[in-house]
A and B are shown apart, each in its own frame.
Chain A
Amino acid sequence: MASPYLPIREIGEIPLVREGETFQSITDRIARVTEDKTPRNWWIAFGISLCFLGLLGVCVGYLLWEGVGVWGNNSPSYWGWDITNFVWWIGIGHAGTLISAILFIFRQKWRTSINRFSEAMTIFAVMCAGLYPGIHVGRAWYAYYMFPVPNQMSIWPNFKSPLMWDIFAVSTYFTVSLLFWYVGLIPDLATLRDRSMNPRRQKVYGFLALGWRGSNRAWQHYERAYLILAAISTPLVLSVHSVVSFDFATSVLPGWHTTIFPPYFVAGAVYSGFGLVMTLMLVARLIYGVKSIVTTQHLELMCKVMLLTSSLVGYAYAMEFFIAYYSGNTWERAWAWMRITGPYWWAWIPMVGFNAVLPQLFWFKFFRTNLAALMVISILVNVGMWFERFVIIVGSTYHDFIPGSWGYFRPTIIDIGTYAGTMGLFFTLFLLFLRWLPMIAIAEVKGVIPASDPHGEEGHEYHSNEGGAHDPDLEPVPGE
């Protein structure tokens, strides 16, 4: 019978992992990264990242000391790079949850090679994002006003504000992503524990593996917990960027006050996240030689997701302009016209160029399989998405209703330093993750190679040797 594990060659499916990989070789390949001597390139990259992390410390320290005036934010653009970066980082995180939750629900087994990686990316990106709301409030020591804790004014947060929704959405998102990631790590931490000969590694990984014994009674609850986490993360990830878009959409500002924002933001978030997963994956493939597990096929499938989400984003751009025209509203038409011809035209060009036009190259197999092209495009995707957030935030606030209050936003050196610093935070954490944790979900990848099928060829031979204990009811139900 056709096994649910094997690729259907008739329709052109090829194995998810290069043929010839065994349980042992997969374990070795992935676990060895954490066991071998740290490559010199890792130290170089880590050193650079630490410098940028230091820059973040300096910039945030100066901001807290001096006040938000050190940034370029001023009337009429009270939101500048801070919220642009917040939305950009949190959007990047969305691809991780999409890969770990939504693709899991749809039984897209190719996700197993990239999900650990992108979940880590999610967590670190949300950490970078979460920094901004805390520091942009001006007096950061009052940031606890954002949480419903009793305070000396005996007043509670205003729960009708979308900014409050945002607090709950982002903190829930971070917590759930972290739990999901850790649950996925437990069996792999056990693998590292069992392979280890070094007592200190045994103790640390053993502690984190919680005494996992791969027991089927435990796998049963584990798989159910994983399924439930995937099922609840799916609406969660859609809600998070929708809620982020409510920060804009529930205001009355032209360019913000639009109903298309939630799906438009979610599509853009997934798009930019896949871009960053692609960039990081290409680098990891180069450094750590995991090409047989993360194959060109994986990269191609990611390109297709990016093509889809890029087209959705392009449609949203077009629809915004159409509604601005169709509404007949003076201010709506004004912002649309100013976007193309106004002083920020130079931000609009990369936004449309990199988000809606460039990924159309992915219609061609040449670009989906050319690693150099993928590297360039995947970086430009995130450049484009950063400009999208900048255009939405600054491009809608610098020209408001009264010409007398129009202004022009210019970032300061501290703005730029803070942004570069969050990159340092992200890459420092990411490099530590690559060094100390299995970057690919070992147990999950084992589950998609043909040898993992208990009813595979060997099982059948074995059955017939035994003389007919075989019962069709024992066969796995396809798609189960």
Chain B
Amino acid sequence: MSDDPKNKQTRKEGLEQAAREALERAGTETKSPEDAKTDPMTGEKRKEIDGPKLPPEERGAAGKKTQKLALLLAEYPTPGRCLHAAEKLRAAGYTKFDAHTPFPVHGMDRAMGLRDSRLGWIVITAALTGTSCAFLMMWWMNCIDYPLIIGGKPASVSSIASMVPIMFELTILFSAFAAVFGMFAMNKIPMHHHPIFESDRFRAFSTGKFFISVEAQDPKFKLEKTRDFLEKTHADFVELVLEPAAEHK
């Protein structure tokens, strides 16, 4: 799972270098507006480019004026394109972006520049708590509160051998709870109200489409610029997603 620490630095530099180059090339490739509408791979017309070109404040659709921008959503047909888009976004300095894929895509963590998950630290803490709780429980119950001498084994710490199975089981039990609920906490789930669900196309993420979302809170986010940027990553479709209206009444 983890990188060889020796290679980590060079790999990281290599990645950044490659991604910078990719970005420069992408920038020079599609200069003319005509290019932006055709696929640079095949020369075909882009399938669809949807969503408002202007910021929503100027669209004139009354009632929607107060809605805030939430994110830009780009759709890709393959995991490869999605991965390269993530590489480019990262190289361009975006920080609040994410990939949404039907299954974990190999290499995406590295492409997005995510650091290793810290879940293991939560779990080991819980594991040791489980071991200690089991020992303290059995020691207090069978040795202190109501000493039981059974099978010639003394009611003291010296009969610890017979405590091992339960100490082990509670270690596992506590670790499992920590792994699952720690993961829930780190992923901030359950959360049923994310603005990304406003997009109808997004429903395809759990079937076979690959998405990149760039949040409006990202310091680098500029509607036009980011949209063009995403279009140049060979997206099939780029869509602007607004915060649900009800939240800003």
A binding-site residues for B, Cβ under 8 Å: 4-5, 22-24, 27, 148, 154-162, 164-165, 168-169, 172, 175-176, 179-180, 182-183, 187, 190-191, 193-195, 206-207, 210-225, 227-229, 232-233, 235-236, 239, 243, 246, 443-444, 446-447, 451-456, 458-459, 462-463, 465-471, 473-476, 480
- CB under 8 Å from chain A, chain B span 169-197: 169-170, 172-173, 175-177, 179-180, 182-184, 186-187, 189-194, 196-197
Q: How far is the CA of A23 from the CA of B186 in the complex (A)?
A: 28
Q: Between A and B, how many residue pairs show CB distances below 8 Å?
A: 264
B120 to chain A, nearest CB (A): 7
Looking at A194, A212, A224, the one whose CB has the most chain B CB atoms below 10 A away is A224
Contacts A225-B182, A454-B83 given; does A160 touch B1 at CB 8 Å: no
Closest to A472 in B: B14
Q: Is the CB of A158 within 8 A of B148?
A: yes
**Those of B195-217 within 8 Å (CB) of chain A:** 196-197, 203-208, 211
* Those of B75-120 within 8 Å (CB) of chain A: 78-84, 86-87, 98-112, 114, 117, 119-120
Q: Which residues of A contact B190 (CB under 8 A)?
A: 210-211
Chain B contacts of A465 at CB under 8 A? 40-41
Residue of A nearest to B187 (CB): A218
Instruction: In the complex, identify which listed stretch (B59-67, B135-143, B223-231) lies at the interface while the others stay far away.
Output: B135-143
Contact A158 B150 (CB under 8 A): yes
Contacting pair A216 B207 (CB below 8 A): no
Q: Does B11 contact A (CB under 8 A)?
A: yes
The residues of A that contact B193 with a CB separation of less than 8 Å are 211
Select from chain A the residue with minimum beta-carbon distance to B182: A225
Q: How far is the CA of A176 from the CA of B162 in the complex (A)?
A: 23
The distance in angstroms between the C-alpha atoms of A462 and B108, with both chains bound, is 17
A30 CB, nearest partner CB in chain B, Å: 11
Are A159 and B142 touching (Cβ within 8 A)?
A: yes
B101 touches A219 (CB 8 A): yes
With both chains docked as a complex, state the minimum distance between the C-beta of B94 and any C-beta of chain A, in angstroms.
13
A-B contact pairs, 26 of them (CB 8 A): A24-B207, A148-B137, A156-B145, A156-B148, A158-B142, A159-B163, A160-B162, A169-B169, A172-B172, A187-B102, A194-B206, A194-B207, A206-B192, A210-B192, A214-B206, A215-B98, A216-B108, A223-B117, A228-B120, A232-B175, A243-B165, A462-B81, A462-B234, A463-B84, A465-B40, A469-B21
Closest CB in chain B relative to A342 CB, distance in Å: 30
A187-B103 CB under 8 A given contacts A156-B141, A159-B162, A468-B21: yes
Residues on the B chain within 8 Å of A459, using CB: 78, 80-81, 83-84
CA distance A453 to B101 in the complex (A): 13
For residue B36, CB closer than 8 A to chain A, the reply is no
Q: Which residues of B contact A169 (CB under 8 A)?
A: 165, 169
**Chain A hits for B22, CB < 8 A:** 466, 469
Given contacts A183-B180, A471-B18, contact A160 B151 (CB under 8 A): yes
- Considering only CB atoms, which chain A residue lies closest to B204 in the complex? A194
Q: A160-B162, A465-B41, A466-B22 in contact; A213/B203 too (CB < 8 A)?
A: no
Least CB distance, B215 to chain A, in whole angstroms: 11
Distance from B198 Cβ to chain A, minimum over Cβ atoms (Å): 12
Q: Which of B105, B169, B177 contacts A179 (CB 8 A)?
A: B177
Given contacts A232-B179, A468-B21, A473-B11, contact A456 B169 (CB under 8 A): no
Q: Choose among B112, B177, B205, B211 the residue with the greatest number of A CB atoms under 10 Å from its CB.
A: B205
CB pair A474 B79 closer than 8 Å: no
Instruction: Report which B residues bind A (CB closer than 8 A).
Output: 1, 7, 10-11, 14-15, 17-19, 21-22, 25-26, 40-41, 78-84, 86-87, 98-112, 114, 117, 119-120, 123, 127, 137-138, 141-142, 145-146, 148, 150-151, 153, 159, 162-163, 165-166, 168-170, 172-173, 175-177, 179-180, 182-184, 186-187, 189-194, 196-197, 203-208, 211, 234
**If the complex has contacts A165-B165, A452-B105, A459-B80, are A225 and B196 also in contact, measured as CB distance less than 8 A?**
no
Tell me which residues across on chain A come within 8 A of B40, comparing CB atoms.
465
What is the CB-to-nearest-CB distance from B57 to chain A, in angstroms, rounded to a whole number? Answer: 27
Inter-chain contact A159/B141, CB cutoff 8 Å:
yes
Chain A residues, CB < 8 A from B162: 159-160
Q: A473 to B206: give the CA distance in the assembly, Å.
A: 29
Q: Are B15 and A473 in contact (CB under 8 A)?
A: yes
Q: How far is the CA of A161 from the CA of B148 in the complex (A)?
A: 11
Could you tell me the distance between the alpha carbons of A447 and B79 in the complex, rounded to whole angstroms? Answer: 11
**Neighbouring B residues of A154 by C-beta, 8 Å:** 146
Q: Please tell me which one of the listed residues B1, B81, B163, B166 contacts residue A227 in the complex, with CB atoms under 8 A apart.
A: B1
Are the C-beta atoms of B176 and A229 separated by less than 8 Å?
yes
Q: Say whether B183 contacts A222, CB under 8 Å.
A: yes
User: Is the beta-carbon distance between A217 and B98 smaller than 8 angstroms?
Assistant: yes
Beyond A23-B207, A469-B18, 8 additional pairs, beta carbon < 8 A: A27-B207, A159-B162, A159-B163, A216-B109, A217-B187, A223-B117, A456-B80, A473-B10
Report the 3 A-B pairs with minimum CB-CB distance, sorted nearest first: A23-B208, A459-B80, A469-B22
Could you say which of A156, A183, A214, A228 contacts B100, with CB atoms under 8 Å apart?
A: A214
- In chain A, what residue has the closest Cβ to B165? A165
Q: Is the CB of A229 within 8 A of B120?
A: no
Task: Flag if A474 contacts B111 (CB, 8 Å).
Answer: yes
Contact present for B189 and A194 (CB under 8 Å): no
CB-CB < 8 A to B180: which residues of A? 179, 182-183, 225, 229
B107 proximity list for chain A (CB < 8 A)? 454-455, 474-476
Contact A462 B187 (CB under 8 A): no
- A227→B234 CA distance, assembly (Å): 33
Instruction: Give the contacting residue for B153; candidates A160, A165, A211, A458; CB below 8 A.
Output: A160
- Known contacts A23-B207, A223-B104: A155-B146 contact under CB 8 Å: yes
